[in-house]
Amino acid sequence: MEMNDVLIIGSGVAALQLASSLSRDKNVMILTKSTIRNTNSYLAQGGIAAAIGPGDDLAKHCADTLEAGRFHNNDASVREILNEAPSLIADQVDIFDKDQNGDLQLGLEGAHSENRIVHSGGDATGKHVIEYLIHKLTENIKVEENVFAYELIIDQIQKRCIGVKAKDEAGTISYFYGSYVILATGGCGQIYSYTSNAPTVTGDGIAMAYLAGADIVDMEFMQFHPTLLYTDGEAKGLISEAVRGEGAILVTEDGTPIMEGIHPLKDLAPRHVVSQTILNFIEKGHEVYLDIRNLKHFENRFPSITTMCVQNRIDLSEGKIPVVPGSHFLMGGIKTDLIGRSSLEGLFAIGEASCTGLHGANRLASNSLLEGLYQGKKLSQFINSDSKKYPISEFPRTFQPYRRKAFLPDIQILKDTMMKRAGIVRTKKLLDKQKQWLKQLNVNELTSLDPYSVEDIQAIFMYINAYLITEAALTRTESRGGHFRSDYPHEDEHWCKTEIIQKREGDVEIYYEQGEATHVN
């Protein structure tokens, strides 16, 4: 039996920042369900936000983050993470785009009051950051690709997470152990029919943590990106907010600007405002486009987006890109502190799978890669300085399970119903309908996942995440950030700074900033 010092599930920016920052005397294992580059981080077109420009400062960056998050943020997390942003940029400054004077180019994105977004390769920041971190991986780090982790191993004597069960492509189950078990599996955007997320982003880590009894928080806050390329009835990929930052505007098929009079920032309003506005026009029978005719040298500034448009037969010479809003980023997840400690001893979560409170009710653009870099670096410092040993009992190493089929509705039905009933605009009636439909499937009551295929387990995890989002959205009777209830269309101060924490037992625990918890069945 091989015992790793550090066992990391996932291979996005947070996972690779952690692995590449650990000391070389640590035995590190990275498990990834696909290949190391098949992640949301690799697809990230936007950049990394940092208050490094003239006239900018930490206070302004904090203020913008709190405003976008509708003041649901953890203030201490906001200040701590954003304060580290300049040094995190400096750690890999060579990969970022510079102007003719050799200074960092600073872009503007929605809800930012200053130009503070650094990019790499124009609109390929995620790809360049991931490649940089992969290049830094050392010989003490082993990467296992196409291995699907699906269950946390808990030592019942120590009450500590000590590893994971995982399946390979042949269905063989293996046990992997670690003194530190880190979930860096991303969010769950694939539970919606329109999404910018990679196909692998199905909420695996969140479901695993939930099933093991860890605290899950803020699942009602899903950010819907306003502009996904839309053609042939499908969302084909992300059109970065930086395109609007450069001057593109949203228009209907006849060229009517849709954000006029909606918000003072117009097309650069917070994402939930823009997404809801686009949806309103689509529901009235309009088509919505990004008008890029005012942007000079679009192909040079946005090479990845240009390639995606060409591949999908969009004629950029016409100056219009058809768009639709879709799921993009989960503000909630596994409840953690700043370095990723969960409520379950030995289990850590970093990146989008975690919730530090940085993003509040709505993530400020380009704060997410920043959070992943921060958590990976800080958790590595904690592990490097910890000399404790965590012995574990002997467990079997591999076995071939008997087979069983999960009889669940087709996953496309889940995606469509989540988009209609628990998507951009929500109501009690539709959320109740979705909750009852999900509840009758009894996915939360499965006692063992061993007999099911990787495809079936992934579907089960998607249904679990859908239930968590639906239940939390039903519980929060207000609108705030990424959570919009048309039957409760306004913010309610009673709900500000109130966390909805969900546990396996089936209760929702509502924790107020002050006072005792209230339990809701």
Q: Active-site residue numbers? A: 271
CB neighbour class for 370 (10 Å; exposed up to 12, middle 13-18, buried from 19):
buried
Residue 178's alpha-carbon distances to 78, 154, 299, 474, in angstroms, are 30, 11, 46, 37
Distance in Å from the first CA to the final CA of the chain: 42
DSSP reduced 3-state for 334: strand
CB neighbour class for 17 (10 Å; exposed up to 12, middle 13-18, buried from 19):
buried
Amino acid at 107: G
Paired with 174 in beta bridges are 166, 398
Neighbours of 191 (CB within 10 A): 29
Residue 267 to residue 281: CA distance in whole angstroms? 14
Among positive and negative, which fits the CA dihedral 43, 359, 470, 463?
Answer: positive
Provide CB contacts within 8 A for 178, sequence distance 6+: 3, 4, 5, 6, 7, 29, 162, 163
Which DSSP string do the residues of 383-431 spell out, in sequence order? Answer: HHH------------EE-PPP-------HHHHHHHHHHHSSSSB-HHHH
H, E, C per residue of 77-114: HHHHHHHHHHHHHHHCHHHCCECCCCCECCECCCCCCC
CB neighbour class for 337 (10 Å; exposed up to 12, middle 13-18, buried from 19):
middle
Give the tokens for residue 417: 């119903």
Contact 242, 47 (CB under 8 A): yes
Q: What are phi and psi of 352, to 5 degrees?
A: -65, -20
Give the tokens for residue 221: 């806050």
Nearest to 241 by CA among 364, 369, 126: 364
Element (H, E) at 127: helix 125-136
